[in-house]
């Protein structure tokens, strides 16, 4: 790991990763061993690695798999569900499964195909649905905290994207921890300081089977574009990704951004689902599903 000036054998690497994760969990005050954690599991390497790490560290963490109904000739959702369930069964862990089609009558491609939002951005429909379901399961089952597998490469791509347009609200919301608000569980990203390659190495060495394919709809996404760009920068300047992300967090903590931007907008409960939303009335999810 050139960026850490560190080389480890298999055994030490498999110790080092959870030790680092524990350090980040404590440093950013993500959760304690008394709290109930819900891990959003996609069947990919990051979320399965996260679940594995939390289990090894002795945290109480259940999983949530959301079946999006994406097939595209490669059985993407079916295969990722099989791998998530296999992981849970082998370890005797509890996995919630929510099937979007059976709960809401349509798959993500079907919803995206008929909504204005979807014609513009498939991924924004998918993100809206996933956020709604994650919030709902966390609330209905009384989880204190919702953990996602976002890694450093994910965070860097989002950060860069937000600086390209200098969107203050988004810049200020990007954090390893989003505090709980009435009706919403705390959201945490315990892997936010791990490089994607580090997580790939971890799952490989731990023998965790995961889905290799990216979502077929992510092809050509700006997120993948920015990741490739930063892979190039990281290649030429080892450590650049980590510096970029950590210096951003540090600068914000030290007050680089003005308080006025940080003022949270007022939230109202959605009149249909009860989840917090910025405008009075139905939330964006209910309006989209209701059409």
Name the site residues for its own copies (rule: CB under 8 A).
163-168, 171, 225, 229, 232-233, 236, 240, 243-244, 247-248, 250-251, 254-261
Name which of 141 and 257 has its Cβ closer to its own copies.
257
Question: Could you tell me the smallest distance in angstroms from the CB atom of residue 109 to its own copies?
Answer: 26
In this structure, the number of other CB atoms found within 10 A of the CB of residue 47 comes to 26
Is the Cβ of residue 97 or residue 242 nearer to its own copies in the bound state?
242
Q: Give 10 or 247: the residue with its C-beta nearer to its own copies.
A: 247
Q: Find the shortest distance in angstroms from Cβ 224 to its own copies.
A: 12
Q: What is d(CA 183, CA 122) in angstroms, rounded to the nearest whole number?
A: 27
Per-residue CA distances from 281 to 118, 168, 265 (Å): 22, 26, 15
Residue tagged 């509890």 (tokens): 94
- Closest approach, Cβ 222 to its own copies, in A, equals 9
Q: Closest distance between its own copies and the C-beta of residue 24, in Å?
A: 19
In the complex with its own copies, the residue whose CB is nearer, 87 or 248, is 248
Q: Are 87 and 42 in contact (CB under 8 A)?
A: no
Smallest separation, CB 165 to its own copies (Å): 5
Minimum distance from residue 70 beta carbon to its own copies (Å): 26
Measured distance CA(85)–CA(69) in Å, rounded: 16
Q: What is the DSSP letter of 194?
A: S
| CB burial readout 180-202, b (16+ within 10 A) else e | eeeebbbbbbbbbbbbbebbbbb
Among 96, 286, 277, residue whose Cα is nearest residue 181:
277
Nearer to its own copies, 214 or 250 (CB): 250
The residues that bridge with 36 in the sheet, in sequence order, are: 60
CB of 227: closest distance to its own copies in angstroms?
13
The residue among 243 and 271 lying less far from its own copies, judged by its C-beta, is: 243
Cβ atoms of 54 and 30 within 8 Å: the answer is no
* First-to-final CA distance of the chain: 50
Nearer to its own copies by Cβ, of 116 and 166: the residue is 166
């Amino acid at each position: 790991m050139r960026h850490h000036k560190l080389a480890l054998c298999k055994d030490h690497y498999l110790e080092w990763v959870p030790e680092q994760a524990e350090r980040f969990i404590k440093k950013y005050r993500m959760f304690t061993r008394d709290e109930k954690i819900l891990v959003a599991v996609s069947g990919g390497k990051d979320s399965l690695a996260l679940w594995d790490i939390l289990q090894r560290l002795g945290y109480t963490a259940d999983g949530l798999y959301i079946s999006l109904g994406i097939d595209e000739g490669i059985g993407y959702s079916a295969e990722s569900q099989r791998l998530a369930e296999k992981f849970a069964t082998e370890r005797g862990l509890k996995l919630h499964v929510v099937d979007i089609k059976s709960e809401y009558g349509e798959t993500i491609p079907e919803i995206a195909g008929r909504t204005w939002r979807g014609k513009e951005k498939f991924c924004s429909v998918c993100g809206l649905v996933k956020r709604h379901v994650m919030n709902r399961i966390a609330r209905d089952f009384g989880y204190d905290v919702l953990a996602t597998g976002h890694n450093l490469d994910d965070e860097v791509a989002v950060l860069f994207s937000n600086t390209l347009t200098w969107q203050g609200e988004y810049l200020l919301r990007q954090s390893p921890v989003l505090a709980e608000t009435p009706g919403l569980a705390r959201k945490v990203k315990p892997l936010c300081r791990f490089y994607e390659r580090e997580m790939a190495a971890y799952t490989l060495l731990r023998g965790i089977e995961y889905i290799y394919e990216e979502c077929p709809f992510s092809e050509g996404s700006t997120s993948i574009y920015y990741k490739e760009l930063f892979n190039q920068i990281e290649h030429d300047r080892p450590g650049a990704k980590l510096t970029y992300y950590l210096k951003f967090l540090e600068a914000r903590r030290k007050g680089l951004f003005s308080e006025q931007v940080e003022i949270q907008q007022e939230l109202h409960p959605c009149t249909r689902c009860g989840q917090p939303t910025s405008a009075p009335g139905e939330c964006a999810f209910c309006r989209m599903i209701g059409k």
